[in-house]
A and B are shown apart, each in its own frame.
Chain A
Amino acid sequence: MIEAKDVRFTYPSGVEALKGVTVTISEGDFVAIMGQNGAGKTTLVKHFNGLLKPTKGKVLVDGIETTKVSVARLARNVGFVFQNPDHQLFGETVEDEISFGLRNFGFEKTVVGTRVTWALNLLALAQYRKTSPFMLSGGERKRVALASVLAWDPKILILDEPTIGQDYQQKEKLRQFIMQMQTQKRTIIIVTHDVEFVAECNPRVLLMSDGQIIADDEAAQILTNTKVLEQASIVPPQIAQIFLDLPELDLPKHIIDVYEARNLLLNLLGKEKSG
């Protein structure tokens, strides 16, 4: 569980990136942090594994204050996958790359082997085991980066912009993967600009603007609330836009799911359809 209590953070350059953020993320939550560039999203999640320490206020991870322990210690439970995989890949082979974290955390050699195999299979990378990560495509590199964190099976998983540079199929795989992690009661936090992806996943959304959380609710509520979205420079997903633009039809307003929208429209046309 993560608790942030009135967290303020000022960068050495003098930029105040967080202006009093209070939020609780419970075990098993699936949270999307959204907002415009410079809203403080990445700054906030960097507090969750201790990469940044609050200038004022407190961050507690499983009851432990982040200022009191090392990043390595927190990272054991809080996996953080960075936006750009090229900022972390250095291994000679994909296998080396994935075992890096496991070796750092002092896993035994046999365990490292089984964990690497497990992570490779999980992300469909088994055929690249002995390939250099630099020979892979952008999407594959991103998956290697994800696998290298998943390998030690952290309780909390933070993904910074996981959908950037991914084609639709990869996004869909990522969504399915997140759903699978959800069923295992993992806590997942994603930082993203991708409104359509959030609409499909339907997580709890923390909307940030200018270093503060301006809304915290279900995706269907926030992504259809034009007032707060405008404040965070976000456009509603296309499905929601259709329903928001048709007030005269007296349809429900909080629609972001394609399947739900389709059924509503079919109903409207008087055509019941199953499936």
Chain B
Amino acid sequence: MSVFNGLKFRKVYSPIHNLDPRIKFVYVCAVFGVTIIFSEIIPLILLFLLQIPFILIARVQRDWARSMRGAAFLATIIFLTNFLVAFIGSGYLVTPRNLENAVAMTLRFVVLVESFSVFFLTTSPDHLGLALEQTHVPYELVFAFTTAVRFVPVLAEEAQTIMDAQKARGLELERGNFLKRIRNYIPILIPLIISAIRRSLELAEAMESRAWGATKKRTNLYLLRLHNGDVGLIAITILIVAIAVYVRLFVPIPSIYEIWTRLI
């Protein structure tokens, strides 16, 4: 469940938390795009390091580390798949190039998780909903979205309780071969899905009985305005994209192995 924790918002006051979620989202998307256009290891390392100041300023390093740990399993699978395919493709050879490529692909995934995790850790669901509303997304959709985000930790907690209840009836999740282990999760998924459906129906009834959607025109008490920090983040975003595009188009990127051999 640690992946969920990485996406769980905790109220902290920091310059990063106060940034406009719209700008933060654009920034995350920009990082996403830049990550996709590079498959070399050096720019990916730089992108990885680039996020660290944000994490430190936002003081979410502990939650962030937890989400990274949650991503470790998938990262391992990505590494092994890339490495094995290259290993077999190159005629069963372990070359530094293969290894570096596999690490780069893994790093690409890690950077994606890292940036999205920073976004979700520093943006409250309410703030995010406000941002969506002010970009003229229909309120019904905004509400559905913020509710879904808000219920992630609730569901994670419920999943834990269900796991405990089934373990108390002798279920051993780690027992058996790969297929058996997947099947072991059925007694956890079914109650979880059913209770989520039940909860959503109850929520809908409770909302309707409080006249949800009675007025079509909504106003907000809080309005989002751009501050200096937001302008700064826009500048950083444009800079990153510009540099990335320039480097991609005009600068040949050496691999670590090449630099190493040149130095020796």
Q: Which residues of A contact B (CB under 8 A)?
A: 46, 49, 51, 70-72, 75-76, 79-80, 82, 84, 86-90, 100-101, 104-105, 134, 148-149, 152
Please pick, from A72, A79, A84, A149, the residue contacting B167 in the complex, using a CB distance under 8 A.
Answer: A72
Interchain CB contact under 8 A, B195 and A86 = yes
B229 interface residue per 8 A CB criterion: no
Please pick, from A75, A86, A104, the residue contacting B191 in the complex, using a CB distance under 8 A.
Answer: A86
Given contacts A86-B191, A86-B194, A87-B191, contact A75 B168 (CB under 8 A): yes
10 contacts between A and B (CB under 8 A): A51-B167, A76-B170, A79-B168, A82-B168, A86-B198, A87-B161, A89-B191, A89-B194, A101-B169, A149-B168
Interface flags for B126-164 (1: CB within 8 Å of A; 0: not) read 000000000000000000000000000000001001101
What range describes how many residues of B lie at the interface? Answer: 10 to 19
Complex-state Cα separation, A46 to B191, whole angstroms:
20
Interchain CB contact under 8 A, B164 and A82 = yes
Interchain CB contact under 8 A, A104 and B161 = no
Interchain CB contact under 8 A, A71 and B168 = yes
When distances are taken between beta carbons in the complex, the residues of chain B under 8 Å from A101 are 169-170
When distances are taken between beta carbons in the complex, the residues of chain B under 8 Å from A86 are 191, 194-195, 198
Residue of B nearest to A49 (CB): B168
Given contacts A86-B191, A90-B191, contact A71 B167 (CB under 8 A): yes
Complex-state Cα separation, A49 to B171, whole angstroms:
13
Q: Which residues of B contact A (CB under 8 A)?
A: 158, 161-162, 164-172, 186-187, 190-191, 194-195, 198
Interchain CB contact under 8 A, A90 and B187 = yes
When distances are taken between beta carbons in the complex, the residues of chain B under 8 Å from A89 are 191, 194
Q: Shortest CB–CB separation between residue A2 and chain B, in angstroms?
A: 15
Q: Shortest CB–CB separation between residue B197 and chain A, in angstroms?
A: 11
Interchain CB contact under 8 A, A51 and B169 = no
Please pick, from A80, A84, A90, the residue contacting B168 in the complex, using a CB distance under 8 A.
Answer: A80
Complex-state Cα separation, A46 to B195, whole angstroms:
22
Interchain CB contact under 8 A, A70 and B168 = no
Interchain CB contact under 8 A, A75 and B161 = no
Q: Shortest CB–CB separation between residue A200 and chain B, in angstroms?
A: 27
Given contacts A72-B172, A82-B161, A134-B194, contact A90 B186 (CB under 8 A): yes
Complex-state Cα separation, A70 to B175, whole angstroms:
12
Interchain CB contact under 8 A, B195 and A87 = yes
Given contacts A90-B187, A100-B187, contact A75 B170 (CB under 8 A): yes
